[in-house]
Structure 1
Amino acid sequence: MIPIKACQEIDKMQGGGQILAKIMAELAAMVSAGVTTKELDEKAGDLIRSFGAASAFKGYHGYPADACISVNEEVVHGIPGRRRLKEGDIVSIDIGIKHDGFFLDMAQTFPVGRIDTMRRRLIETAKGALEEAIKVFKHGNRLVDISRVVQVHVETRGFSVVRDFVGHGIGRALHEEPQIPNYVTKGESPLLETGMVFAIEPMINAGSWEVKVLDDGWTAVTKDKQPSAHFEHTVALTDKGPVVLTQ
């Protein structure tokens, strides 16, 4: 069963989403050559607490940080540490909070200074895939329509869609039903209904879709060491259509 939220619950989630968007904007302003991923994480933790929220990630199944920060070939769940950003890198920041009883989740990928054309196209394609997915999160469509539009948008531009990690429902728990693949799968697909709230998150690679998890048990990297990009918003389906809560 996919949980359905009442209007009042979505309003509460939107309040938390606006906080999360402000936190992401502060972190985006920090992204520059010389900054360590640990410094970004420490800033994220300070900001989360300053807004009276709690980190959704720290301690989740033992995850050790407030944010997931993934650089270049790191796809998702990168553990912050001593790695120092350098000119030409791309860095994905994935943060989640719990506020007023509800979870919010978002991610963005940023250039570090000047980046090459391929990396810029990769970021633009991942961002565009999320925008297209949000457009089809509407009445009369099915969950698979979100998956299809992401896959088509990405693959027609010469990139690949990660199979091992997917989007998800979100609300009173960080991960709720349904799972939201970024590629078409077989089987019956549920109809989209008012009150559904999804964390839609295309993760795409410059090369092969295949990934592996490092020995730290968290950091997922591309098997071919090609760069990866990740964008995510928490989105509610209302009577008026999709509403992005994390903006």
Structure 2
Amino acid sequence: MTGRRAEVESGTAVIVEQLTRRFNGGPPVLDALDLAIAPGEFVALLGHSGSGKSTLLRTLAGLDPVTEGAVTRPRDVSVVFQEHRLLPWKRVWKNVVLGQEDKGIRQRAEAVLEEVGLSHRKSAWPLTLSGGEAQRAALARALVREPAFLMLDEPFAALDALTRLKMQQLVADLWKKHRCAVLLVTHDVDEALLLADRAVVLERGQIRVDVPIPLPRPRRHSDPEFERLRTLLLDALGVHTS
């Protein structure tokens, strides 16, 4: 693992080894979990509530401690949560650069807001944004840091169906441009198949299924391989389609 850890330290991969997480002496939420994410790889993480998805993401984000096992990740990481977490008393562009003071930061904020289609709202107050606009701002805040590893924690769950489709396409376009490693936590099998290179299903803190998604982009629901993979993932989640 020495060479792979060296890669991570230079910002090119994520490695989880035998990660176990317990709360108050209870059963493990994560149980000796092993996971590797390659440079530029887009991984979707699926599982029922309580399977360990959010705990894994919080650990990878550095929000929860590592007490059993090991986690190695790039130095530059960003997270987009289901809630946009914008400060209502700061204008959009100032939310994007929150905590950063380096020279030229406003220009970088304006550039990334243009990338996410929000340049016309850069001076707006967050409370005037729609749900989709607020999540675009949250994406801009994550991308302005130029992360080597981007985590998305069900970022579209609160959006209406049409806005969700638009945001999925935006994330696909941004990933194609920036090519950082991505971990997307989602309950949506179709979303995983539309966006990811690989889908991982967690069950009781362990990986039940880890399957590549070798579909050409842009992807189509009508593709027979899409439907085969969809059935495989739904079966792994206990949803039987036949």
Alignment TM-score, normalising by the size of structure 1: 0.32
More helix by share: 2
Q: Which has the larger radius of gyration?
A: 2
Alignment TM-score, normalising by the size of structure 2: 0.32
More strand by share: 1
